């Protein structure tokens, strides 16, 4: 009788006598191999989850707003969320994008000239202003798309 190369399972040939104990031995080997694989996967999953836990968790929220045309101090653009925002991307027209990072009070819109965003962070909100409606991403009637990373702790 021949055996498989990896698990030494029985490979009967035409003249071999088939025996119950051979089937049982093969099933025991298969069962042990499957259990070892399941245990290894569970251990790997647990290790990955433990590693990610070191970095904290977040939720990703997608929303949009329509600009009202106001700008400068006293006319801040404000976004409010159902959690604490950590990082926010705002996309405007013409492929312009800005970002807001918690802890930074002045952030620059990406691909914009002349002026950054003066930013104030609340527990569940962020507000910013800029010297003109275009750089504040608040041109009247324009739709702005927002992707926000919220703390999930």
Q: Mean pLDDT of residues grouped by 10 in the chain (153 residues)?
A: 90 89 93 92 84 75 95 93 91 74 64 64 91 87 93 80
* pLDDT at residue 112, as a whole number: 46
Residues 6+ apart with CB under 8 A from 113: none
Q: 């990703």: which residue's tokens?
A: 60
CA 29/CA 51 separation, integer angstroms: 33
Euclidean distance between CA atoms 42 and 138, whole angstroms: 49
pLDDT of residue 107: 59
User: What is the pLDDT at residue 69?
Assistant: 95
């Amino acid at each position: 009788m021949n055996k498989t190369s990896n698990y030494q399972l029985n490979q009967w040939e035409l003249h071999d006598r088939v025996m119950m104990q051979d089937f049982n031995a093969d099933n025991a080997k298969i069962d042990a191999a499957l259990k070892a694989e399941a245990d290894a996967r569970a251990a790997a999953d647990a290790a990955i989850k433990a590693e990610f836990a070191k970095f904290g968790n977040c939720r990703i929220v997608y929303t949009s707003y329509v600009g009202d045309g106001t700008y400068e101090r006293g006319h801040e653009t404000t976004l409010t969320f159902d959690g604490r925002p950590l990082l926010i991307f705002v996309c405007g027209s013409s492929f312009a994008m800005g970002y807001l990072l918690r802890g930074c009070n002045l952030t620059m819109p990406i691909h914009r000239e002349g002026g950054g965003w003066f930013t104030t962070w609340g527990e569940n909100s962020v507000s910013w202003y800029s010297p003109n409606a275009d750089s504040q991403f608040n041109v009247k009637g324009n739709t702005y798309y927002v992707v926000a990373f919220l703390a999930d702790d």
